[in-house]
Amino acid sequence: MEQKQKLSSVSLARLTIEDAAALINLTVDDALLVRNEIGEMGSAALTEMEQTGRAFRAQTNRSKKSQLTDQVNLERKVCVDGYAEIKKTVVFESDSRIESRKKAANDLEFYLKPNWDITKGPIGDQIDQTVKIVSLYRANPLLVTAGQTIGVDMFMNELEANNAALSTTFKARELEDGKQGASGSDLRPAATDSYNRFCSIIEQAANFTPNPAILDLFIKMDMLRKRYHALQTSGKDKGDAPSA
């Protein structure tokens, strides 16, 4: 029995918003060239994918061009570096030969561990968790004393101020995006669903109703999927690709 053709695996959920938009719209560009040769169902699915994909890309490009984006990125880096300095100091002092410094570092490390990697998550979560970290630190005299003992109290002050600045800029950009209409993130699910439906239809057509145009498109789509699979971030696949 002849083995069925199967598109290579790619998870749009594990691509950046810009890469996901690019993959969808490059697929649209290839498919439009052979619209009349991919069947009625394929053509209808392409129309849907073109509408949702173009809207997704347009909004993503508008958000990317925000005048506040560079400022958000810069202020976030300041916060990331500041938190990294706190963690570095805590880890270094945990091996101190001075018992009081070692205990202070161990106490702070135990307190920070649940939120050790907050700077690797979404920026909104990072801002909210930083507020929580600083608030709990300030509310606990033992932690404040520990921070003062190993010299991270001033870093906490700086982190609090820098995070507040980042929060203000981030909210201003969110408001700016809101005035432009639906955000790229809001439009992503519809575009992803349309892309997955189209891929499934072309995959089925390549197996059951093939013609030269469909097979050529299948190959081009597969090459795109392989290229963007290499750009996926690590993490659990959310299962939005039709081919696993």
pTM for the model stands at: 0.52
> Within 10 Å of residue 174's Cβ, how many Cβ atoms?
16
119: nearest Cα among 151, 81, 156, 153: 81
How far from the centroid of its chain's Cα atoms is residue 110's Cα? 28
pLDDT score at 238? 39
**More confident call, 241 vs 134:** 134
pLDDT digits (tens, 9 = 90+) for 27-68: 999 999 999 999 999 999 999 999 999 999 887 776 655 678
Q: How high does pLDDT run on average in the chain?
A: 88
Q: How many Cβ atoms are within 10 Å of 161's Cβ, its own excluded?
A: 14
Say how far apart CA 167 and CA 203 lie, in whole Å.
Answer: 45
Q: Domain map of the chain by residue range?
A: 12-65+186-229, 69-179
Residue from 165, 172, 178 nearest 62 by CA: 178
> Can you read off the two tokens belonging to residue 242?
């039709």
Distance between CA atoms of residues 112 and 106, nearest Å = 10
